[in-house]
Amino acid sequence: MSKEVEKTRYSDDELTEFREIIEVKLEKARKQLDFYLQQLGEMADNQDNKIKGLDDGLSTFEAERLTTMASRQKKHIQHLENALIRIENKIFGVCRVTGKLISKERLKAVPHATLSIGAKQKK
């Protein structure tokens, strides 16, 4: 009778697959951040916005919305970059609460996840 040994980490081939997924998501996220920053720059350079300023709350609202979205995108990029570091250290995909592997399905959907579904639900 042989017991199947539970995997404690993903194989190098699996880590390479995850790296490719993350790099694609990272490229998209960086392009999106550049777009938000470009939009903010254009708003700041637009003379009409400077003149209306106090009269038009819409441009202020739009600037705040873009700033919030850019901030979220920066955090998302940081999470993805941290996931690449975990891949380098071969600890990618290990739940930081249970120490067990996070499901491949979850990691493909949310490659920067550090918690398994079970650990996330208990949190």
pLDDT at 42: 85
pLDDT along the chain (123 residues), means of 10: 67 96 98 94 69 60 91 98 97 94 95 91 82
Q: pTM for the complete prediction? A: 0.82
pLDDT at 119: 87
DSSP 71-121: HHHHHHHHHHHHHHHHHHTT-TTB-TTT-SBPPHHHHHHSTT--S-HHHHH
Q: How far apart are the C-alpha atoms of 36 and 71, rounded to whole Å?
A: 10
Looking at the DSSP bridge assignments, the partners of residue 94 are 101
For the CA atoms of 105, 109, 113, 119, the dihedral, rounded to the nearest 10 degrees, stands at: -50
pLDDT at 121: 87
Domain boundary assignment for the chain: 12-122
* Assigned CATH topology for domain 12-122: Four Helix Bundle (Hemerythrin (Met), subunit A) (1.20.120)
Instruction: Give phi and psi for 6, each to the nearest 5.
Output: -75, 130
